[in-house]
Structure 1
Amino acid sequence: MTSTVPAPSTRMAEGSALQAVFLDMDGTLVDTEGFWWDAEVAVFADLGHVLDESWRDVVVGGPMTRSAGYLIEATGADITLPEITVLLNDRFEARIGHGVPLMPGAARLLAELAAHSMPTALVSASHRRIIDRVLESLGPDKFTLTVAGDEVARTKPHPDPYLHVAMRLGADPTQCAVIEDTATGVAAAEAAGCRVVAVPSVAPIAPARGRVVVGSLEEVDLAFLSTLITGMY
């Protein structure tokens, strides 16, 4: 398993039951969910197919194998999954070649987590080649560990990515906070036993036990994340 940063530390933040914070990337830290849809529309247009806008909610937030597979089946495009994956990654990477816009509050939150030495992991269903490009905008030094969708046997909505980073950081998943923007990511985090902050990007997400829904990362700070574990929110 590759990581873009040195081996993670198992030292947890002092004075808090919160042991680690895990963050999704697309739509959570960076405003790129629309970029992915634009890439899918453009690639399938090149293949002679028009994507229905209603499919956008179906493909958002999941692994590329699921979203691309769904679009191939829905359109009847004559292309294999490995072939479309390369085309989509190429198109998206070209789109973010000059950097990506951060979501409101993202830079401030990452800086606060780093300042308090809170173990922080980036957990994305995007492939490693994409994560590494986006990290140029986010700052790789802000993360103790990063995990891509093509580095785990099963990515979101399975809990595997979150269980993996918790193990790597020596953390108890039930003492970790996850920030996600899609139902797929929320399902993965909750299946791993983590507490979740949902910041919906494309489709709405309802509050639930162990889950808090906020309007943006501007409402989230380290103290707020700590209350998810202590149960005082």
Structure 2
Amino acid sequence: MTSTVPAPSTRLAEGSALQAVFLDMDGTLVDTEGFWWDAEVAVFADLGHVLDEAWRDVVVGGPMTRSVGYLIEATGADITLPEITVLLNDRFESRIDHGVPLMPGAARLLAELAAHSMPTALVSASHRRIIDRVLESLGPDKFTLTVAGDEVTRTKPHPDPYLHAALRLGADPTRCAVIEDTATGVAAAEAAGCRVVAVPSVAPIAPAFGRVVVGSLEEVDLAFLSTLITGMH
């Protein structure tokens, strides 16, 4: 894990019920969910298999081991998980060589969080090599901490990545807001006890207790996130 600011626990916003904001990457901050599907389609095509479009909703948002494991089983492709993981990361990395498009409202929200010294963590199921490339577009200085999927024993939908981020920031998970775009990510955040803002990218997500659903990050700002926390206490 990397941290751009030493001793992040000293930066908790005093007098605010909201202690930290955690953000997913693919499909939440950057418009890359389609890139991953394109990479999967291309890699499996090279192996002689055609992916069913219906499988897209099944694999979106999850750890690569689960998503690719499903696709290997569904297609019967003769390849191991470690082998295809390398191929997919290579394909995706070449796709983002010239940067990645940010989701509407992402740059503004990150700038606002930074301006108010709100501890902010990027929490992704993507591997470190991919996160570090995407950070070139997002700005590594915008995050107090980043957590990659290959740096935790269990990644999303398990709560571990968000619990780890909260621990590193010295924050109470129940006073942290999480922004996610998939049901898998939402499940991980809620299992950690965080309040969730869902911004669905591929498949719909229903509202629930402790969770709000918005159309885009354009509807999200620091005041909104703070209300999400204070409204629960």
Q: Which category describes the TM-score, using the shorter chain as reference length?
A: over 0.9
Q: Residues of 1 paired with 2:141 and 2:89: CA distance?
A: 24
Aligned sequence identity (%) = 95
Distance in 2 (CA, whole Å) between partners of 1:193 and 1:132 is: 27
- Asked if the contact 1:10–1:171 (Cα under 8 Å) also holds between the matched residues in 2, the reply is no
Query: Matches of 1:31 and 1:135 in 2, distance apart?
Result: 13
Paired residues of 1:19 and 1:171 also in contact (CA < 8 A): yes
Aligned equivalents of 1:210, 1:143: Cα separation in 2: 24
Spell out, residue by residue over 1:121-169, the C-alpha distance to the aligned partner (whole angstroms, 9 max, x if none): 0000000000000000000000000000000000000000000000000
Q: Which range is displaced more, 79-88 or 2-11?
A: 2-11
Give the aligned partner of residue 97 of structure 1: 97
Find the residue that maps to 1:10 and give its secondary structure.
helix
CA distance in 2, matches of 1:186, 1:67: 17
How has the CA–CA distance of structure 1 residues 4 and 11 changed in structure 2, closer, same or farther, with 3 Å as cutoff?
closer
Report deviation, 1:9. Answer: 3.8
Spell out, residue by residue over 1:151-190, the C-alpha distance to the aligned partner (whole angstroms, 9 max, x if none). 0000000000000000000000000000000000000000
8 Å contact kept, 1:22–1:179? yes
Deviation at 1:6, TM superposition (A): 4.4
- 1 CA distance for matches of 2:106 and 2:87? 29
User: Deviations along 1:11-45, whole A, 9 cap, x unmatched?
Assistant: 21133100000000000000000000000000000
* Unmatched segments (≥5 aa) in structure 2: none
Q: What are the Cα deviations for residues 173-228 of structure 1, in whole angstroms up to 9, with x where unaligned?
A: 00000000000000000000000000000000000000000000000000000001
How far off is 1:232 after superposition? Answer: 7.4
Count of aligned pairs between the two proteins? 233
Q: Is the 8 A contact 2:154 2:160 kept in 1?
A: yes
Q: Report the 3-state secondary structure (helix = DSSP H, G, I; strand = E; otherwise coil) of the residue aligned with 2:22.
A: strand
| Separation (CA, whole Å) in 2 of partners of 1:8 and 1:44 | 42
Report the secondary structure of 2:179's partner residue: strand
Give the root-mean-square deviation of aligned CA atoms.
1.3
Give the gaps of 5 or more residues in structure 1.
none
Inter-partner Cα distance in structure 1 for 2:11 and 2:111: 18
Report if aligned partners of 1:9, 1:169 keep a CA contact under 8 Å in 2.
yes
Q: CA deviation at 1:108?
A: 0.1
TM-score (normalised: structure 1): 0.97
1:197 alignment partner, SS class = strand
Q: Distance in 2 between matches of 1:31 and 1:221?
A: 19
Q: Is the 8 A contact 2:210 2:232 kept in 1?
A: no
Q: Indicate if the aligned counterparts of 1:36 and 1:92 stay in contact, CA closer than 8 A.
A: yes
1:112 aligns to 2:108 (yes or no): no
TM-score, with normalisation over the residues of structure 2?
0.97
Q: After TM superposition, what 4+ stretches of structure 1 lie above 2 angstroms from structure 2? A: 1-11
1:3/1:147 contact within 8 Å kept: no
